[in-house]
Homo-oligomer: A and B are copies of this chain.
Amino acid sequence: MKNKPCILHKRVFIISSASVVGKKEKSGPLGHLFDLGGDDRFGKNSWEKAEAEMQRLSLGIALNKCGLKDENIDAMFAGDLINQCISSSYGLSNYKIPFLGLFGACSTCAEGMLMSAIYTSLVFDRCAAITSSHYCAAERQFRYPLEYGGQRPPTAQWTVTGSASFIISSLPRDIRRCSAEYIPEIVDVMPGCIVDKGLNDANNMGAAMAPSAADTLERYFSSGISPDDFDMIITGDLGYEGTGILEDLLLSKNIDITKNHVDCGNMIYDESSDTHAGGSGCGCSAVVMSADILENIKTGTVRNILFLGTGALMNTMSINQKQTIPGIAHLVHIKAAKKSDIIIDDMEEK
């Protein structure tokens, strides 16, 4: 196992992204930033079909933004929380693009970006990473049907209704066409290990995932890189509960991320949303990355970030069988590359 980041063999850029969200997310603190949203049904007669439709829409918008079509994309990486990842397979079945299904639970957005970056730096020109989650579909699958009106403990997180898609390219002509001053560049990645610290409270996913995030960050920083090198260290969906645990775990190893750590689960809702410990789900980090963080990179407000998708690798049956909850965290390092500084002709040769 390599305890150093995987450096990419070619420069790869996130040339486009799009976010689609539900009603609660649209009326939250980041609501004005999302590309589409405001409704939870998306014209469908089931929550599962609505979630699939969000994936279809977010990929369509992301392709539209960069003027590309199905045939321009060499592979798409997608996954979600629904059993057998059907939101991805049904949502994306109309796109004639080679499909590589992922399961990373809520870390799927980072896993898809990591995969896209590696593939784009080698065998393909352009890849897409897509993920989603839907509060209503997740509640009835993992907990109770909404009609039951189950009570939620204070450590519970709220599954984000949202989908985001990212188009990753290594083609000079794609970079030339980007209009932003800065273009998000994936510079290195690090896949996470499964970490199981024996937590078994299905209503406290933040605590179950925090040790895996700590593990990946510790491995990353062991190569001499410091947390202070980054403008932001962004975790996916640890929420209020997991955020404190992650920061404490790292402090005990003399790694201090408290100055620049933010969590997408803490950003997407505010207190008026009444979501208890914050947002979660594959869609959580995906829509925050697309609508907020990457946009700030494009303006140069943020220049150098670590994005750490966090996932809990359990299901309802494993909880019922008294198993503990393994976590995972995949890391993607993204920089703001000034368009005028990217020597595009050099890229062709590499």
A79–chain B nearest beta-carbon distance, Å: 6
- Chain B, residue nearest A191 (CB): B98
Q: How many whole Å from A272's CB to the nearest CB in chain B?
A: 32
Q: A179 near B: Cβ within 8 Å?
A: no
Q: Are A1 and B193 in contact (CB under 8 A)?
A: no
A175-204, CB < 8 A from B = 190-196
Q: What is the interface residue range for chain A against chain B?
A: 35 or more
Is A314 on the interface with B (CB-CB < 8 A)? yes
Given A90-B326, A103-B79, check contact A313 B85 (CB 8 Å): yes
Given A97-B1, A122-B122, check contact A315 B191 (CB 8 Å). no
Contact flags (1/0) for A82-107 with B, using CB distance below 8 Å?
Answer: 11111011101101111111111100
Which stretch of A66-74, A243-251, A300-308 is in the interface?
A: A66-74
Q: How many copies does the complex hold?
A: 2
* Contact assessment for A86 and B317 in the assembled complex, using a CB-CB cutoff below 8 Å: yes
Q: Please, which residues of chain B bring their CB within 8 A of the CB of A323? A: 49, 86, 90
A2 contacts partner chain B, Cβ-Cβ < 8 Å: yes
Interface assignment of A59: CB less than 8 Å from any CB of chain B: no
**A22 CB, nearest partner CB in chain B, Å:** 19
Knowing A93-B196, A99-B328, A192-B99, say if A315 contacts B83 (CB, 8 Å).
yes
Instruction: Establish whether residues A71 and B115, one from each chain, have CB atoms under 8 Å apart when the complex forms.
Output: no
**Is A135 in the interface zone, CB < 8 Å from B?**
no
- Complex Cα distance, B115 from A111, in Å, reads 13
Complex CA gap A46/B321 in Å reads: 8
- Of all A-B residue pairs in the complex, the 3 with the closest CB atoms, nearest first, are A89-B313, A98-B191, A84-B315
Residues of A at the B interface (CB closer than 8 Å) are 1-2, 6-9, 46, 48-49, 70-71, 73-75, 79, 81-86, 88-90, 92-93, 95-105, 111, 114-115, 118-119, 121-124, 190-196, 313-318, 321, 323, 326, 328, 330
